[in-house]
Amino acid sequence: MAWYLHVDMDAFFASVEEALNPSLKGKPVIVGGKNGRGVVTAASYEARKYGVHSAMPGFQAQKLCPGGIFLPNRRRIYRDFSDKVFAILEQYSPEVHAISIDEGIVDLTGTEKLFGPAVKTAKEILARIEKELGLSASGGLSTSRVVAKIAATSAKPHGFLYLAPGAEEAFLSPLPVDAIPGVGPKTHKELLRQGIKTIGDLLKRPQLRRRYLDLDEPEHEDHRHDRSMGNETTLDRPLIQREKMEEVLWELVEEVGSRLREGGLHARCVTLKIRNSNFKTITRSRTLATPTCFDREIFEVARELLEKNLAPGAPVRLLGISASHLLSSGWQESMFEVEKRLSWQKLYQGIDRLRRKYGEEAITVATPHTRTR
């Protein structure tokens, strides 16, 4: 039987700051938005009691929580902790899929002979994250990936929810339909127009059930390449200069590229996400002639998308990059492309090896500001 553990870190950036400085525990910790500038990227649950949440403007957070402890966004440090979390997950399964810097899914199918029942393994993983890293995580365990995600969200903060086979529909039915991953405001509005308010309402529609949930899919079906890998960040201060945006994009691309290479995957599609100061969000994608997992190639696409879609003079609050249509093999390429790929592969294997051994800061690649010809 298939088993999937969805791990979702609790207030991740704030939790990392608390792990590094235990005196912050139990206090309203707010990452980002310092001095009333920029936006909040994370808030501890103590800060959330005041109404503070991520993506909130800093000045508003300060009004709601004047006693809040505002800290700068230290993305590199959070990435290092993320790597440590995923290192624990990877000790229990070769199939670990990173959804974001603080969220992932572990395929525990077939691990019973090594570690015992999946529910025991899931609890052990969450306990190790807390004991070894000092971080709080929530988890959901189910025979369905989507249900595991919903369960983890329902268990937050610092909880675990196990759904035995056959209990999925009873758990899902009373939940609002926008609890399903991927059901955003526009889709939610359309579903409400159709009279679908709860997941129970959606379950009665076979076509929609198949589209949004994976309850009826064969256990052996492989979804590995249906997923995407992405990374985004809400900026402490809105950026206007494109060069500064490119520096942020490069850091995001480095993480996505690293995840792709760890999984032996290449992306056929690259997507850029931009959110302006007026909170208008746009996403733009490009399909590649040849799939890639190399930072420089992903960055070149992201930079071109940024150049074409950046509104002149409009401050940017959020940038994100994602790679999708993931492949491990099966595409055609010329001899020249093969040689180029092997050359890049050798270079990045060395970079990744050094970073795994000595840490993220061991080697830094300069942002490619000049176009390659």
Catalytic (active-site) positions: 103
The contacts of residue 355 (CB under 8 Å, 6+ apart) are 258, 362, 363
Of 354, 355, 331, 356, nearest to 341 by C-alpha is 331
Of 27, 32, 34, nearest to 42 by C-alpha is 32
User: Cα 351–300–283 angle (5° rounding)?
Assistant: 115
CB 357 within 8 A of CB 363: no
Cis peptide before 291 (omega within 30 of 0): no
- The sheet carrying 316-327 orders its strands as 229-239, 316-327, 266-276, 281-292
